[in-house]
Structure 1
Amino acid sequence: MDSIFSALGSYVNWDVKGLLLFTVVFILSADYIKNRRPGSFPPGPRAFPIVGNLFTVDHKRTHESLTQLAGRYGDVYSLRFGQKWTVVLNGYEVLKEALVNQGDSLVDRPELPMLQDINHGRGVIFSNGNIWKQQRRFALSTLKYFGFGKKSLEPIILDEFTYCAKEFNSHEGKPFDPHLVINNAVSNIICALVFGHRFEYGDEKFMKLMTWFGKALETHASIWAQLYNSFPLLMRRLPGPHQTVHHIWNSVKDFIRVELKEHKQNWDPSDKRDYIDCYLKEIQMSKGQADDTFDEENLVACVMDLFVAGSETTSTTLRWAFLYMVKHPEIQAKVQAEIDRVIGQSRQPSIEDRINLPYTDAVIHEVQRMGNIVPLSLPHVTNRDIQLGGYTIPKGVTIIPNLTSVLFDKNEWETPDTFNPGHFLNEEGKFVKPAAFIPFSAGKRLCLGENLARMELFLFFTSLMQHFNFSMPAGVKPVMDFRFGLTMAPVPYEMCVTSR
């Protein structure tokens, strides 16, 4: 009897093993058949079963990994993250063909689970279709009404600089981290347009938000975000930095809702004080229309998009500018000499001075190029089958425009890996902007804040160079390393600022 049970147990044991082996083989075979590259699809590295190329890329230096892969597989190649295919575009000509010439086919954003769980398809940056068209059109027209990118915004920027200068002077030449000060200064410009007021540099709640932005944007480009987007049902239930991101954006939304509540308490529909006032009016006017996309949840999402985009990119560029000036004191001195010659010390800079400050303008643009603030732009998705680089890319494939491959292309720049303002100057010393300078991306999803960012960068940078000398603490050399995220920020550093 014992031998019968022993034989039966052995049979059951092998049956379970056989079932497990069959299941594994079936899953691997199904994954291979389902996800193998069609003959006309862009090539790329071999993908692992289930996870694809999730671990092919160094997610702390993703832009470098993707640029290196282009050297092996060409300017148009593919990767698979989980079960979804992604095509990476490299080089100016390929990006121009895709984003400009075939822009209508790439106008949409992919519906990434992590972002969908945060904004639910709302807002102005990651929305699609009618929502995106209406919200972008409204945002552009409303912000232009308040001087967005126009000379009338100059006094607000220059007034904010006086607060920033006072804060810099308070350190009396001793080392300090400029991160939160410059973030607050830049944020106050978009806050003036959106909220109708600025925030003091000592405002603890506002400073906490500024710190959170960087952490959230870093996580959005990490392996955690890729895992979340590839396996959302599992990752929604697991702890990790991806959960912290949700708490951060919920806190930002709560901050905006407090502002919204205060606006509604003393709102006069005939008095347009800022973006929120205008949006409340639009909600009132659009009510009942068939294609209406204006409601308070979309208002919160749009304000969050403008708030973050209008704060992080420009302030990060200025932080890189400080580093490049302390690393290249001879360039700093040359900028200051040009400013002294054209503007002097007795008046504030004006946007009209730009044409007479070609070297200063060239330095700002070279900071943007080398700083590489949004290294992989933001993702697109094909809304129809397209032909690109001799390959067929089907509808529904995520597209990554690798801006790094353009801004550091040895065929486009004389010394791509060296800080060289000469990239933006002709033989006569006049400012020129090469076609390959596309830090704001290109096409119909071009950054809507480009004009504001260019204005802020010029006025802040010129004012700072006019009034201050920048240097590292004694015995400290500048570290040019970065923290990779949706935006690429310098690692934290301290500098010394002295009045000229």
Structure 2
Amino acid sequence: MALLFLGLLLLLGLGGLWGLLWGYPRASSPAPRWPPGPRPLPLIGNLHLLRVTQQDRSLMELSARYGPVFTVHLGTQKTVVLTGYQAVREALLATGHALTDRPPIAIFQRIQGGAGVFFSSGRRWRVARQLTVAALQHLGAGRGPGADLVLSELGCLSKLLDGYRGRPFPLRLLGWGPSNVTFALLFGRRFDYGDPVFLSLLDLVEDVMVLLGTPALQLFNIYPRLGTLLQLHRPLLRKVEQVRAILRASLRGRPMPGASPSYMDALLHKGQNDLEGQFSEADMVACALDMVMAGTETSAATLQWAALLMCEHLEVQGRVQEELDRVLGAGRPPRPEDQQLLPYTNAVLHEVQRYITLLPHVPRCTAADTALGGYLLPKGTPVLLLLSSVLLDKTQWATPDQFNPDHFLDTRGRFVRRAAFLPFSAGRRVCVGERLATLQLFLLFAGLLHKYRLRPAPGLRPVLDATSAPAFTMRPPAQALCAEPRNQWR
């Protein structure tokens, strides 16, 4: 596909397009020494070496040849890639503020304009992150109040599954539970599963995530001016604007009668008390948009993958249920403190997150000239930290390419959290929702397996190939499962 794009560019004329495609500013000063890497071709750089739906795997293959720190050209943009536990950990934890910025990724610049929690940099990022962390703490996310919220949602999700009476149900329904927990924190109330706003938000989030993973959007990010000329970003922007409209309506309609305190309230309070006038409605909407997208997608997709893997590994599911029965008995829902009493269940859930590598890489940008891996990178250099290479590092995991809960158990069967377990990244930009995600995944996973025996739909096997559903994250392909009530719940 990259060669097809090259042909298009040659037809349009190399001389004029060189300036058109130069989507990022050059570094103000050259680096004394760049890491090694494959020789780039004119205009397309090394795109011909990267598979569209498995870029992280392609980069890991290049790492085997050029080492854990190497240079790759994404079009005309020179990017440094870090792979493996040692290189990624050093960059995340030992570089201070040097790698806290995000590179100006074209599509997110169009969507957020440098605002929000996840793709902002500098002062705007610090303000948004501090506000978000404080708001989640105030709302009890990751603690007792958050646990009550998740367990209440577990009850609603169980009623939904009970209605299928063991018959096949769409896998995406499992994502409704964690998504609704996020919405409850954002808006101050949960949605009924039939609420049109709830269903609309879920459909829009799915559409946005799928569009972000398309070749058209990847081309837009690499050649933003050409992408703008071809209007490659328009379908995505239309979907994002529909989400923004819902968020603006919620902000302008606050406070809502009967609603609990919410993240939207925290945003509104910040905007109303911003004496410097630097936190506008656009900043509020950008932060809320980030939380809607990230907060629903990651937890929902992880729970779906967990269910699929339990259908594929029935012996693992059986061991989890034996442990749950022994610790919880018949009918008691799990609580946060049960994690220490359920080492195998905890190990299985961690292995799910390691094995699926939901978010393969984290883009960063050097905020100043930075020494990294023995090389000196100039300010403004995009740096790609390949989290999938850490979660699949052969030096850290006994069987990295296999689903193996023993990765998180010692010889006595006790749970061990491994230093190379980095699905939420680490350091100053570690995921703001890590505590909430960890809590709700444990409670929902344990609660569902305690009550149901998960099975593939009759005559089918679960589809575990993430490449069949390309998106911004490694979301599972659409399919059906069965949830049969276990004996003590019949």
Do the two structures share a fold, i.e. TM-score over 0.5? yes
State whether structure 2 residue 252 is matched by structure 1 residue 261. Answer: yes
- Unaligned runs of at least 5 residues, structure 2: 1-9
State whether structure 2 residue 414 is matched by structure 1 residue 430. Answer: yes
Match of 1:285 in 2: 273
TM-superposed CA distance for 1:265, in Å, is 7.3
Would the alpha carbon gap of residues 40 and 496 (structure 1) be closer, same or farther in structure 2, given more than 3 Å must change?
Answer: same
Q: How far, CA to CA, are the matches of 1:74 and 1:84 in structure 2?
A: 20
The aligned amino acid for 1:246 is L
Q: How far, CA to CA, are the matches of 1:281 and 1:400 in structure 2?
A: 35
Q: How does 1:151-300 map to 2 (within 5 A)?
A: 151-179=144-172, 181-240=173-232, 242-263=233-254, 273-287=261-275, 289=276, 292-300=277-285
Is residue 219–residue 245 contact of structure 1 (8 Å, CA) maintained in 2? yes
Return 207-216 or 303-312, whichever deviates more: 207-216
Match of 1:351 in 2: 336
Match of 1:105 in 2: 98
Q: How far, CA to CA, are the matches of 1:72 and 1:166 in structure 2?
A: 52
Q: How far, CA to CA, are the matches of 2:94 and 2:103 in structure 1?
A: 20
The aligned amino acid for 2:453 is N
In structure 2, which of residues 356, 362, 373 is the aligned counterpart of residue 389 of structure 1? 373
- Secondary structure of 1:495's aligned partner: strand
The aligned amino acid for 2:381 is V
Identity level (%): 38
Q: How far, CA to CA, are the matches of 1:448 and 1:282 in structure 2?
A: 18
Q: How far, CA to CA, are the matches of 2:302 and 2:138 in structure 1?
A: 26
Is residue 52–residue 83 contact of structure 1 (8 Å, CA) maintained in 2? yes
Match of 1:127 in 2: 120
- Unaligned runs of at least 5 residues, structure 1: 1-19
Q: How far, CA to CA, are the matches of 1:309 and 1:170 in structure 2?
A: 29
Match of 2:3 in 1: none
- Secondary structure of 1:106's aligned partner: coil
Q: How far, CA to CA, are the matches of 2:17 and 2:183 in structure 1?
A: 52
Q: How far, CA to CA, are the matches of 2:16 and 2:353 in structure 1?
A: 50
State whether structure 2 residue 76 is matched by structure 1 residue 76. Answer: no
Q: Hey, which bits of structure 1, 4+ residues long, moved more than 4 A?
A: 23-28, 264-267
Match of 1:481 in 2: 465
Would the alpha carbon gap of residues 25 and 249 (structure 1) be closer, same or farther in structure 2, given more than 3 Å must change?
Answer: closer
Q: How does 1:304-323 map to 2 (within 5 A)?
A: 304-323=289-308
Q: How far, CA to CA, are the matches of 1:315 and 1:286 in structure 2?
A: 34
TM-superposed CA distance for 1:43, in Å, is 1.5
Q: How far, CA to CA, are the matches of 2:99 and 2:403 in structure 1?
A: 33
TM-superposed CA distance for 1:266, in Å, is 6.5
Q: How far, CA to CA, are the matches of 1:256 and 1:459 in structure 2?
A: 28
Is residue 32–residue 377 contact of structure 2 (8 Å, CA) maintained in 1? no
Aligned Cα RMSD in Å? 2.4
TM-superposed CA distance for 1:310, in Å, is 1.0
Q: How far, CA to CA, are the matches of 2:213 and 2:331 in structure 1?
A: 45
Q: How does 1:460-475 map to 2 (within 5 A)?
A: 460-475=444-459
Q: How far, CA to CA, are the matches of 2:319 and 2:192 in structure 1?
A: 33
Would the alpha carbon gap of residues 25 and 443 (structure 1) be closer, same or farther in structure 2, given more than 3 Å must change?
Answer: same
TM-superposed CA distance for 1:351, in Å, is 0.3
Q: How far, CA to CA, are the matches of 2:262 and 2:463 in structure 1?
A: 40
Using the size of structure 2 for normalisation, the TM-score is 0.90
Is residue 184–residue 199 contact of structure 1 (8 Å, CA) maintained in 2? no
Q: How far, CA to CA, are the matches of 1:95 and 1:251 in structure 2?
A: 37
The aligned amino acid for 1:245 is L
Q: How far, CA to CA, are the matches of 2:16 and 2:347 in structure 1?
A: 59
Q: How does 1:373-452 map to 2 (within 5 A)?
A: 373-376=358-361, 378-452=362-436
1:70-117: per-residue Cα shift (whole Å, max 9, x none)?
111111111112221111110111011111101311000011221111
TM-superposed CA distance for 1:38, in Å, is 7.0
TM-superposed CA distance for 1:492, in Å, is 1.2
The aligned amino acid for 2:235 is T
- Secondary structure of 2:47's aligned partner: coil
Match of 1:40 in 2: 33
Q: How far, CA to CA, are the matches of 2:44 and 2:92 in structure 1?
A: 29
1:184-242: per-residue Cα shift (whole Å, max 9, x none)?
211111211110111121223432332332332233244323321232222113144x3
Q: How far, CA to CA, are the matches of 2:405 and 2:40 in structure 1?
A: 41
Match of 1:6 in 2: none
- Secondary structure of 1:263's aligned partner: coil
- Secondary structure of 1:103's aligned partner: coil
TM-superposed CA distance for 1:439, in Å, is 0.6
The aligned amino acid for 2:317 is Q
TM-superposed CA distance for 1:451, in Å, is 0.3
Is residue 175–residue 304 contact of structure 2 (8 Å, CA) maintained in 1? no
The aligned amino acid for 2:210 is E
Q: How does 1:15-94 map to 2 (within 5 A)?
A: 40-94=33-87
Is residue 175–residue 303 contact of structure 2 (8 Å, CA) maintained in 1? no
Using the size of structure 1 for normalisation, the TM-score is 0.89
Would the alpha carbon gap of residues 233 and 328 (structure 1) be closer, same or farther in structure 2, given more than 3 Å must change?
Answer: same
The aligned amino acid for 2:334 is P
Paired residues in the alignment total 468
